């Protein structure tokens, strides 16, 4: 039986196989929107390329020039030099997202929650036991290398819950949805016997969401190490559950 938690104007329920076809409908627009702008990439893998940001004034990616903007039809890829108009493709497809979600769902220690508002899925969050037997440098997350960094930080990867994904559609943000999902995952992590939660992000708003969810002061959560994958600019964070209220 799926657990359902009622809030003021939304509800949370455990993620299951029944959600797999809904997840891409929320996942893709979340990460194509501000602040990620992960819209397109070249067939060579270079990117992300973006059509721009409508919230320029608070978009660090746009202000610092980190976004590779699509500005003309004859634009060349910075990676392979090919014509973008011929080689550009969406970063995410529904089938990819379903595969990622299904893999997570079948990972040891999976915990995940869906947020529903007005009868529709509007937010999600999931994670699992930090993989400690993962081969080196496979996929975008280098678990073995990250596990070594976790050990150097004084935590045990075997006692870590890895928060893998989280997001809320922009129109439904600032309603407490993301914070509620994180709090519920915190409780489930404690019940499962984890000592730490670890996650990676390049989004300051996501860090602040964690601080709110866990009752931490603004700015108190600092990165533990940089992502070992040189193609990623995320920072990893480790939260000791014993120090939380």
Residues 42-70: tens digit of each pLDDT: 999 888 899 888 776 667 766 666 678 89
Q: Is the pLDDT of residue 184 over 60?
A: yes
Predicted pLDDT of residue 3: 61
Contact in structure between 155 and 195 (CB atoms under 8 Å): yes
Domains along the chain with CATH numbers: 4-21+93-243 (3.40.630.30), 39-90 (no CATH)
Residues 88-143: tens digit of each pLDDT: 999 999 999 999 999 999 999 999 999 999 999 999 999 999 999 887 776 788 99
Average pLDDT in the chain: 89
Predicted pLDDT of residue 9: 87
Residues 137-155: tens digit of each pLDDT: 767 889 999 999 999 999 9
Q: Report d(CA 2, CA 19) in Å as an integer.
A: 12
Predicted pLDDT of residue 1: 44
Predicted pLDDT of residue 77: 93
**3-state class of 87 per DSSP?**
helix
């Amino acid at each position: 039986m799926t657990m359902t938690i009622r809030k003021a104007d939304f509800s949370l329920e455990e993620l299951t196989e029944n959600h797999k076809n809904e997840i891409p409908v929320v996942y893709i627009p979340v990460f194509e929107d501000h602040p990620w702008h992960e819209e397109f990439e070249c067939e060579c893998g270079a990117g992300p390329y973006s059509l721009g940001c409508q919230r320029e004034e608070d978009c660090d990616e746009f202000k610092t020039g980190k976004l590779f903007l699509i500005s003309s039809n004859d634009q060349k890829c910075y990676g392979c030099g090919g014509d973008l108009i011929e080689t550009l493709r969406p970063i995410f497809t529904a089938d990819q997202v379903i595969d990622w979600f299904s893999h997570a769902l079948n990972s040891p220690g999976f915990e995940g929650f869906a947020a529903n508002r007005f009868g529709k899925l509007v937010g999600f969050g999931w994670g699992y036991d930090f993989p400690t037997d993962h081969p080196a440098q496979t996929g975008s997350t280098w678990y073995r290398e990250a596990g070594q960094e976790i050990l150097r930080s004084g935590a045990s990867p075997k006692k870590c819950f890895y928060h893998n994904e989280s997001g809320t559609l922009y129109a439904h943000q600032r309603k407490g949805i993301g914070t509620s999902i994180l709090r519920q995952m915190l409780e489930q992590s404690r019940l499962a016997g984890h000592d730490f939660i670890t996650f990676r992000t390049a989004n300051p708003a996501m860090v602040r969401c964690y601080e709110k969810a866990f009752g931490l002061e603004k700015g108190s959560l600092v990165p533990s190490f940089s992502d070992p994958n040189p193609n990623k600019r995320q920072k990893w964070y480790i939260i000791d559950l014993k120090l939380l209220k």
